[in-house]
Amino acid sequence: MTTPLLILIAGPYRSGTGGDPDLIARNLARLEEAAAPIHRLGHVPMIGEWVALPILRGLDGTDAGGSDAGGSESADGDVMYETAHRLLQHCDAVLRLPGDSAGADKDVEIALERGLPVYRSIDEIPAR
């Protein structure tokens, strides 16, 4: 393998948090913990929230944490899911972290439909 893979890290972000910003931040930190090991293997890590959160911050009624300040959580969810789906058009693989997450499950489904590898552990990712 000579070209680095763009690997989407998929796992819980808002799932199981009840909207608690501290728990959401903890989930994001957990996603981000997988980034450095992927980079050390010679690949490019990607997390959908890295792209979606700035979009959410630009929407009226949305705070800097990406949670809806005055309306529907489904609007946020739509942006998050749509961003991940667009990113998957450019990704070469998915790393699915443990934990319940409808969005991450959908990412895996899309990746498999596209014939992309889905890794369940950093140890499964080949070094470049």
Residue 21 belongs to what domain range? Answer: 6-123
pLDDT score of 68 more than 50: no
Q: What is the pLDDT of residues 71-109, one digit of tens each?
A: 344 556 688 888 988 999 999 999 999 999 999 999 999
Answer yes or no: is 21 within a domain. Answer: yes
Beta bridge partners of 93: 7
- As a whole number, the mean pLDDT across the chain is 88
Cα angle for residues 114, 118, 121 (degrees, 5° grid)? 170
pLDDT of residue 80: 86
Number of structural domains found in the chain: 1
Single-letter code of the amino acid located at 5: L
Q: Is residue 128 part of a domain?
A: no
**Long-range contacts of the stretch 16-19 (C-beta < 8 A, 24+):** 16/99, 16/100, 19/67, 19/73
CATH code assigned at 109? 3.40.50.10400
- The phi, psi pair for 69, rounded to 5°, reads -80, -25
Are residues 55 and 83 in contact, defined by beta-carbon separation less than 8 angstroms? Answer: yes
Helix locations, the chain, DSSP H: 21-33, 35-40, 48-57, 73-88, 102-113
In a domain, residue 42? The reply is yes
- Per residue in 14-32, pLDDT (tens digit) is 999 999 999 999 999 999 9
